[in-house]
A and B are shown apart, each in its own frame.
Chain A
Amino acid sequence: MEKLYLNRKFIILGLFLFTGIIFIIRLFYIQVMAENYILSANNNVLRYITQYPARGLIYDRNGKLLVYNEAAYDMMVIPREVKAMDTSEFCRLLGITVNHFRERLTQARRYSSYKPSVFESQINRENFGALQEKMFMFHGFFVQPRTLRSYSYPAAAHMLGYIGEASPSIIAQSPYYKASDYIGISGIEKSYETELRGRKGMKIRVVDVHNRDMGSFQEGHYDTISLPGRDLWSSIDVDLQILGEELMRNKKGSIVAIEPSSGEVLCLVSSPSYDPNLLVGRIRNHNFSLLSADSINIPLFNRALMATYPPGSTFKTVNALVGLQEGVITASTRFGCPGGFALGNGHVVGCHDHAGPLDLEESIQHSCNTYYCRVFKSILEKDGFYATDKDFNIWRNHILSFGLGKRIGLDLPSELSGNIPSSAYYDKYYGKNRWRSLTVISLAIGQGEVLVTPVQLANMTTVIANRGYYIIPHVIKGVGQPDSVNRTLMEKHFCTVDPGYFDVVVDGMEKVVLAGTATNARLDSISICAKTGTAQNPHGDNHSIFIAFAPKDNPKIAISVIVENAGWGASWAAPIASLMIEQYLKGEVKRSELKERMMNGNLIKP
């Protein structure tokens, strides 16, 4: 009877074996095939603790500290460890409301009850001092040090730039950055980010399910040490920079000074500016929106690199050099000036009163428009009246070789290229062969389509000061130690005008100050070579422009000053440039009356 069911023994046996095989297949899948479990296991127990290195400091050319780090403190919270406590006292010490407290705690809880999250970021030192004494009363809260940028002088904001938390798009692009890491956003902070930031280190700790530290992972074998950021030595003279910003107070415009022999930028003033300490820490977001909302002064706009102006008469120096190089004039070429240059269609390029006829030196000294219209006409008609296109391109290539019409490539972000129009532009505008020298005659006197940035203008002055070449301007001269910057940056960029042609132009520029259009820029015992400019523009009164270098022989400083809507070049820009040269070459300004007058001038109409 019972034997009937003997085969059932094998069915039960089969069931046992089947189950065992299922388990082994499943084990094979999760232990041998799948790889995500080992990752999940590491996520469970390993905590990667980032060691943030100190960001590099920034010094000026004389070793004065410009940018340093100050300790700030993030209040952290581990929600599950928070116990009953004197909440109102805590809020008072932290300077927050009780509602805010509850809100943040709920937020933190939502993120994780056992992982730390930022409760309040960047508590300043004063609040922290008071808090530190009483932290033992607040279980679950702890303070994590962090560093904030701090600026010794309320100056050079545009050039130094600022840092901020890395944006999601940066994090997506670069594996180095994680959420809430700092990154340079503008200025030197941005262009020298890699040098300044150093390298983050990583400590790997093992934790248990309650996030308690159970020791280092494999005796720290996989830990990496952080490398501190490298200090930078800027070429900026901070005293010169501060004077420049003071002189430009309540004026729009820019001052750029360069050491001609090295290309080192001595100051980079953009006005109106702001105190760089405003864009630090918790107040940053608030101040940033205030500054970016100021549509009248546009304080965040770096005019030195990004504003473009017609160079006006300062451009005559370059046109004179091109004329000499092309052989259409010589140093002794004289043109009479009947008070203007007739264009033949009833229009006249006007000129002011001066004696005549003038030779080349005198034409610079007195800034004669007629002279340069004739020079420019000669350049564009050198190969005949109908060869405008060819001659224009020859002229344009000379101009480009002075570092105009293109980004110079200095070590700061957001530089604009200005504009030296091409023949293609005029072909498009007027039609091919439908324009001649007289059509574009305003280029002769730096008006019309030609646009330059203040830094380009200073660099152009450098070319004249150097009698034929420039070195790419740069604001950093040392990384890690003073004067250690890559020497390939010191390569000389020669312009297409032979050095021999420069002397006559330089002599003319010297006369500008001695007995020409800018006698108010004179400085005893130092020979300044300069050129005024008065740029007509569609935005209102003429811009006051001045370029200069000094001393005449072996120049130490080349400078461009632009004061928007300030009238004649000699009115504001020339005295400001003169004061800057005095400060730099003599270490102090003796002409305090002139300085006061320049500083107090208010050219921003309310």
Chain B
Amino acid sequence: MRREYGIFHRIDWVMVFLYLALVLFGWINIYAAVYDESQPSIFDLSQRYGKQMVWIAAALLLAIVTLAIDPKFFSQFAWLIYSGLIGVLILVIFIGRDISGARSWLHIGSVAIQPAEFAKMATALVVAKYLSKMDLNLKKVQTWMKATILILFPALLILLQRDMGSALVFLAFILVFYRFGMSGLVLIALVAMPVIGILALLINKLILIGILFAGAVFFYFMTQRKFRHLMIVLVIFLGSVGYVFSVDYAVNHILQPHQRERINVLIGKTSDLKGAGYNVNQSLIAIGSGQILGKGFLHGTQTKYNFVPEQSTDFIFCTVGEEWGFLGSIVLIVLYLILFIRILTVAERQRSKFCRVYGYSVASILFFHFAINIGMTLGLMPVIGIPLPFLSYGGSSLWAFTILLFIFIRQDAYRLELV
């Protein structure tokens, strides 16, 4: 009795309200994006907005169920949940149905589930479980190699489902690893690789190698200039040079023409507005035409008349940009940032390391989705089809994000009891 009364007071309402705000804002934007004058009711179950309402109701139910589960359950059964989902992921490869090129959907009766969405939550649990082991030596490389295997395993299975976007999200855990002790060099390398890769395609390779060499010399003189440092800098430099050439080779000889085209469009080398650049161009037009105040709710034309593809799922931000304008977009971005910062703050106050790691995982996964999705609609990121958390149309992603977040809220509510 005391417990039931307690959880109402102990849960972090900031996160809950931010969650509800985003979900509701998503719902009305889906309504605007696929608005059909002949089906004006937002509760019409034959339309996407009607269905999303059902998904939201189910998600709220899931949230309540999650809050009712014993918080120790998640750390104790982390491996089991992880193994179970790995099993489902393997199953999907064989019995899943192909939807727009990816075989990532499992049909249970009339409901289609995308297990990859839930795999993130399971991986977050198992990573938290692994990193909170008492005897873990954080200095050893093997520790991080093992942790990496934990995230690579589901990522590769998802890649086999030809769902590259969802697989890439597992890179988010690198941020978590970094926070809990992995060398910062890995993070730098992860940031440097795409930068050098893009430069390799854009500018003369000899000039790029010259820049890399100058950087190597600079770093060498920053160190104590021992022989060991020279060796490290040299290896990194040579590795970079090799990388420059292999990127060039891979793009020009290994990638399929349409993939190469997408990359060229992204880095601004070509602008193929009818082909690969169509999505991004239409997305920019929709957002850009919103101007400062937006065209107003239901008055957007670009998304309503289907100029933007996938306007209710991956490109839902276009509807926000077009109808709510610059001001509305800022409000949404700030809402997300507050949520992320809140999760980080709450994670830092956990006494249990499991909860801390899990909190960071939640923040990192949500952030990754946010950065790639909005970055894509703004033409800053390649077109990678992953949903915008809580806003995009779709049951699986909404439920998975809900469970992901509410497990954390649940744990936080009992942070004082959990060690």
Contacts and interface: CB of A to CB of B under 8 A. Distances in A.
Interface in B276-297: 282, 284-292
A41 B301 contact: yes
A31 B138 contact: no
Contact of A26 (B285, B364, B380): B380
B285 to A, nearest CB: 4
Given A20-B336, A37-B288, A13 B305 contact: no
Contacts of A206: 301, 305
A31 B287 contact: yes
Interface string B304-326: 11110000000000000100011
A179 interface: no
B333 A12 contact: no
Interface string B212-227: 0000000000000000
Among A17, A27, A40, A210, find the residue whose CB has the most chain B CB atoms closer than 10 A: A27
Contact of B284 (A8, A19, A30): A30
Given A5-B180, A31-B291, A210-B306, A44 B301 contact: yes
A32 interface: yes
A136 to B, nearest CB: 26
Interface in B23-48: none
Contacts of B380: 22-23, 26
B307 A45 contact: yes
Given A9-B179, A37-B287, A40-B285, A23 B341 contact: no
Contacts of A2: 138, 180-181, 353
Chain A interface helix/strand/loop/mixed:
helix
A45 B289 CA distance: 12
A214 interface: yes
B344 A9 contact: yes
A44 B291 CA distance: 16
B306 A37 contact: no
B302 A27 contact: no
A160 B184 CA distance: 86
A388 B293 CA distance: 84
Contacts of A32: 291-292, 326
A27 B330 contact: yes
A296 B375 CA distance: 73
A385 interface: no
A85 interface: no
Contacts of B374: 23
Among A1, A38, A44, A210, find the residue whose CB has the most chain B CB atoms closer than 10 A: A44
Nearest to B374: A23
Contact of A40 (B289, B330, B340, B367): B289
A34 interface: yes
B348 interface: yes
A19 B364 CA distance: 13
Contacts of B175: 12, 15
A45 B370 CA distance: 29
A131 B138 CA distance: 83
Among A12, A24, A41, find the residue whose CB has the most chain B CB atoms closer than 10 A: A41
Contacts of B353: 2
Interface in B359-389: 360, 363-364, 367, 370-371, 374-375, 378, 380
B337 A20 contact: yes
Given A12-B179, A206-B301, A41 B288 contact: yes
Contact of A24 (B284, B290, B330, B367): B330
B337 A16 contact: yes
Contacts of A38: 288-289, 291
Contacts of B367: 15-16, 19
Given A13-B344, A19-B367, A44 B178 contact: no
Contacts of A42: 289
Given A9-B348, A12-B344, A28-B326, A41 B285 contact: yes
Contacts of A5: 179-181
Contacts of B378: 23, 26-27, 30
A113 to B, nearest CB: 10
Contacts of A210: 306
Nearest to A20: B337
A41 B340 contact: no
A34 B304 CA distance: 22
Contacts of B360: 12
A8 B178 contact: yes
Given A9-B344, A26-B380, A44 B180 contact: no
Contacts of A219: none
B292 A31 contact: yes
B337 A17 contact: yes
Contact of A30 (B288, B304, B307, B330): B288
Contact of A8 (B179, B301, B330, B370): B179
B240 interface: no
A207 B287 contact: no
A45 to B, nearest CB: 4
Nearest to B322: A41
B189 interface: no
Nearest to A217: B301
Contacts of B336: 20
Contacts of B286: 41
B255 interface: no
Interface string B161-199: 000000000000001001111001000000000000000
Q: Which 5 A-B pairs have the closest CB atoms?
A: A37-B288, A41-B289, A208-B305, A30-B288, A31-B326
Interface of B: 138, 175, 178-181, 184, 282, 284-292, 301-302, 304-307, 321, 325-326, 329-330, 333-334, 336-337, 340-341, 344, 348, 353, 360, 363-364, 367, 370-371, 374-375, 378, 380
8 contacts: A12-B178, A15-B367, A34-B288, A37-B287, A37-B289, A44-B282, A45-B302, A45-B307
Given A23-B378, A214-B305, 19 more contacts: A2-B180, A5-B179, A5-B180, A5-B181, A9-B344, A9-B348, A12-B179, A17-B337, A19-B375, A20-B333, A23-B333, A24-B330, A28-B326, A31-B326, A44-B285, A44-B307, A206-B301, A206-B305, A208-B306
